[in-house]
Amino acid sequence: MPVPPLRLGINVDHVATLRNARGGARPDPVRAALIAIEAGADGITAHLREDRRHIRDTDMERLKAEISKPLNFEMAATPDMLRISLGVKPHAVCLVPERREELTTEGGLDVVGQHNALAPFIARLSDAGIRVSLFISADPQQIEMAARLRAPVIEIHTGGWCDAVVDGHAAKAEAEWQRIVAGAKLARAAGLEVHAGHGLDYQTSETIAGLPELAELNIGYFMMGEALFVGLGETVRSMRAAMDRGRQRLAG
């Protein structure tokens, strides 16, 4: 199977987190999106949470209107979010689990347990020409169900692996990594486009870029933290370079 180019999606949620800390209009997540694209991002991701803790409805509308690259709209599978996303008409929707009390998206979507509930969402979004992605852990049963649900894309949750790498838990990191490697292969063999995201930094992005099955990484929190010190444009360029190094190993 040919190796797809690896796209970089930048998640701008935490620019909105910072903005909302003071309630005004700055810093503007749309400005961050434009800078990221200028520096080489292939797309922009934003998560409209039920509690609107960072991205707001108007941010989504402005992102859709003002950016020149694909918008990936992350959302929970609720009737309200379906209505909003059908109005915004992003390039893609990534369905994620959502619990109010969580700090971030802590686990993957349970597509095995929720396939009956998810099927109509996937159908409605697909009928509207929106590419649907399911954010799941690299679990064979979840991957097989995602394929049966006819979602064209899965995004593998890399949070457990990234945390283990950063915390220096070598055995856990290796086990999580092997799960991701096997999951990416299984998903690709089932005809799914494979994305990955959550917790990625330069090191883990370079490593995961070496998986030929991957087509896209979505990265946010680390990018915005780095941007505080070196600027967002520089952070995007460094991330792109890390991903290119990982990808080049495939050619060698």
Residues binding ligand PXP (CB under 6 A): 11, 13, 47, 74, 94, 96, 104-105, 135, 155, 197-200, 218-222
Strand partners, 92: 72, 131
Identify the residue whose tokens are 């009956």. Answer: 116
Could you tell me which of 213, 218, 214, 211 has the C-alpha nearest to residue 239?
A: 218
Beta strands in 13-130 (DSSP E): 43-47, 71-75, 92-95
Measured from the CB of residue 251, what is the shortest distance to ligand PXP in angstroms? 26
Instruction: List C-alpha distances in Å: 179 to 1, 62, 138.
Output: 21, 38, 6
Could you tell me which of 91, 105, 94 has the C-alpha nearest to residue 53?
A: 105
| Distance between CA atoms of residues 9 and 188, nearest Å | 20
Query: Element (H or E) spanning 210, and its range?
Result: none
Amino acid type, 225? G
Q: Which is nearer to ligand PXP, 202 or 222 (CB)?
A: 222
Is residue 115 flagged as an active site residue?
Answer: no
Q: Which of 157, 176, 198, 216 is catalytic?
A: 198
Residue pair 45/223 in contact (Cβ under 8 Å)? The answer is: no
17: left (phi over 0), alpha (psi -120 to 50) or beta: alpha
Task: Report cis status (omega within 30 of 0) of the bond before 27.
Answer: yes
Is residue 47 flagged as an active site residue?
Answer: yes
Exposed, middle or buried: residue 99 (CB in 10 Å: 0-12, 13-18, 19+)?
Answer: exposed
Q: Which is nearer to ligand PXP, 35 or 55 (CB)?
A: 55
Residue pair 5/42 in contact (Cβ under 8 Å)? The answer is: no
Catalytic sites, residue numbers: 47, 74, 198
